[in-house]
Structure 1
Amino acid sequence: MSSVTVRVPAKVNVQLSVGPLREDGYHDLVNVFHAVSIFDEVVAKESEAITVRVNGKWSDQVPVDDSNLAIRAARALAKHAGRTYGADLVINKDIPVAGGMAGGSADAAGALVACNELWGLGLPLEDLMEIAGDLGSDVPFSLIGGTAVGTGRGEQLSELPTGGTFHWVFAPAIGGLSTASVYAECDRLRQASGAEVPWPQLNDSLMEALGTGDAYALGSNLSNDLQAAALTLRPELGPTLDAGRQHGALGAIVSGSGPTCAFLAIDATHARDLAESLTATGAARTAVAAHGPVQGAVLI
C-alpha cells in the first residue's frame, strides 16, 4: 500500500474540571470530551524517513520539525513495532492550531492509524490507545471520538452514549494559546484567591443532558475551569462569548484551553444563523457550524 488517508475530528470539552496541582506538575481532571465535525486529514505515504508537510488554512502555524506531534506519533509507533519505518505525512488542516480543539492531538491520532495501516502492522486499538496516552492527554480521545469522560490527566477514557446530535458554532480567534500557559495562569489565579481547590467531580445534570439529547439542559451545564485563565490572557474573548449568548446560544464556553469560543445551538438551522450573526456583527472574525458527536480517527 503506497498511501493511506485518515480523517480525524476536533473536540470540544463540555465539562473541564481541574483539580489541584499535583507534585508531578499535572492536574487530576474530569474532562468530558465531545468530538465534532471539523476535521483534519492525515495522509501517510511510503518514504524512507518520517517527515511531515502541512496544507490548509492554518498550515503556517504548524511546526514541521521533531516537535510536530504527528511525527512523534509515527516514531513512537515504529519504536513499539521494534523496526525502522518511514512515512511522508501530509496533514490537510482544518482544525484551528492552539485553539483548544485538540488539533495537534488529532493529527497524532491520525498518524497512528495511518502508519499502522501503511506499515501493515495490524495493531489493535488497545495498543494504539496505549501509545496515544504517552503522547498526550487528548490523543486517546482523538482515536475513539464520540463522547467520553476522561480522568487522570484526561487519558483514562470511559465512552458515553448520547441521546442525539448536538449542533455547535465555533469561533476561532486570531493566534493561539499555549495549553501550559493557560494551566499556569489557572494555578496563579487560584493561588491568588486563597480558596481551596475542590476535587473534580462529574456533573450529573450534564451527564443526563447528554444521555437524553437535551440541548437546553446541556447548554446550561457547560463548564470549563480553565475559562477564567483564558479570559485573563485573552480578555477579548469575553465580548465574543457575550455576543453568542445575545444571539441566542444555549450555552457559550471557551473550548479547552482556548482561545476558540464554542456556542451550543438549538438545531442545524439555528447554528447556521448564529454563525452568520457572529460574523456579520463583527463579534467573531470567522465562525463555523458543526455537529457532534462524530467518530474518531477513521480510514477513508
Structure 2
Amino acid sequence: MSTAPVAVRAPGKINLALRVGAPDDDGYHPLATVFQAVSLHEDLIADHASGLSVTVEGRDADRVPTDDSNLALRAARLLQEHTGITDGAHLHIVKQVPVAGGMGGGSADAAAALLACDQLWDAGLSREELILLGRRLGADVPFALTGLTAVGSGRGDVLTSAMAQGGYHWVLAVQDEGLSTPRVFAAFDDAGGTRAAEPHVDDGLMAALRSGDPHELARHLVNDLEDVAVDLRPELGDVLAAADRAGALAAVLSGSGPTVAALALDEEHAESVAAVVREAEVAREVLVATGPVPGARVLGHVHDVA
C-alpha cells in the first residue's frame, strides 16, 4: 500500500453533439453524444485518513458540497464497498471546471477519486473495472476516466473511442447560475415533436473529427437541448449571438447548459473571440481551453509532483 498521498488530474468536458431520444418507460432519454475532454482540470490529492472526508479549493469551491452528497466521496465509498477495503482517505480537490455548467466537473472529481483511492489503497483494479464503477455514479464519469474524444450512447455512459485528428481551441462562456438538467429535459419533452427511439451522431461530424479541420467541425456542432435551454434562460441567446459577432466558427450549448462553447480557428483567434464575448458582458466568466486532452491520470505521489 502506498504511504505517500496520490495526486490525480481529471478533465472537464464539452459536448460537440448531443442528440436526445424519446424517454423510455423509466423516464430516461437515450442519448447519442460526442464528448471532448478539455484543458480545464480537476486536481485531486488523496491521503491516508481514518475515515472519508473532502475539502475543496479553486473555482466555485464554495458551491461544492462536502457532505455525503459529494461525488468524490461517493466514489471513494463505492470503491470501499466493491473491494472490501476499510482504509479511509482525505480527498482534497483543486477545481478549475465551473460548477453546474454542463462540463462534468463533479464527474471528473468522481473519476479522480476512483483512480486516486485505487492507487492509495493498492486496490489493483483495472481501468475497465473503474469505468464500470464510474457508470454507477453518473453518466459522465466513465468519460472523465477515458478522456480524449468519444461517442457516448445509452445514457451517455457507453463509450466508443472516436478517431480525431489535431487539436481544437474553445472559448467557454460560464454563467452565474446553473441550469437544472431535469428541468431542461422536462422542457424538451413538453416541447413535443418527433424523437428518434435510437438517436445517432451525424456521420459528417465523425468525418470532420477525422479530418482535423475546425471549419468542418463547426458545421456539425449540435445540441437538441439548446432551443429549450434558451427558452428557459433567454440570456443564453445573447451569449450565442455574442460568439457569432466575435467571429467564432460556431457555438453550441455544452450538455444541458448553461455553458456555451465557441469554436475558434487557433489560439490567437480564441483569445480574440474571448475578448469580444467578455466585452459583451453576457457571461460571468469567459475561459479559453483546448481539446482533446487525456482522461483521469495519476500525476504521481505528492512528493514526486512539482
- Is 2:93 aligned against 1:91? yes
Query: Shift of residue 283 of structure 1?
Result: 3.2
Structure 2 counterpart of 1:220, which letter? R
- Stretch deviating more after TM superposition (77-86 or 136-145): 77-86
SS at match of 1:46: strand
Query: Shift of residue 12 of structure 1?
Result: 0.5
Contact residue 163 and residue 206 of structure 2 kept, 8 A: no
Structure 2 counterpart of 1:12, which letter? I
Please give the alpha-carbon distance, in whole angstroms, between the structure 1 residues aligned to 2:152 and 2:190. Answer: 24
Please give the alpha-carbon distance, in whole angstroms, between the structure 1 residues aligned to 2:280 and 2:237. Answer: 15
Structure 2 counterpart of 1:66, which letter? D
Identity of aligned residues (%): 48
Cα-Cα RMSD: 1.0
Structure 1 match to 2:303: none
Q: 1:73 aligns with which of 63, 72, 75?
A: 75
- Is 2:3 aligned against 1:5? no
1:245-271 deviations in Å (ceiling 9; x for gaps): 111111111111111111000111101
Query: Shift of residue 89 of structure 1?
Result: 0.7
Structure 1 unaligned regions, length at least 5 = none
1:261-291 deviations in Å (ceiling 9; x for gaps): 1100011110111111111232333211111
- Is 2:199 aligned against 1:197? no
Structure 2 match to 1:170: 172
Structure 2 match to 1:26: 28
Please give the alpha-carbon distance, in whole angstroms, between the structure 2 residues aligned to 1:81 and 1:255. Answer: 35
Query: Shift of residue 198 of structure 1?
Result: 2.1
1:53-83 deviations in Å (ceiling 9; x for gaps): 1101201111111111111111111111012
Q: TM-score normalised to the size of structure 1?
A: 0.96
- Is 2:134 aligned against 1:132? yes
- Is 2:298 aligned against 1:299? yes
Runs of 4+ aligned residues of structure 1 deviating over 6 Å after TM superposition are none
SS at match of 2:241: helix
SS at match of 2:21: strand
Please give the alpha-carbon distance, in whole angstroms, between the structure 1 residues aligned to 2:288 and 2:165. Answer: 20
Q: TM-score normalised to the size of structure 2?
A: 0.94
Structure 2 counterpart of 1:197, which letter? R
Please give the alpha-carbon distance, in whole angstroms, between the structure 2 residues aligned to 1:96 and 1:285. Answer: 11
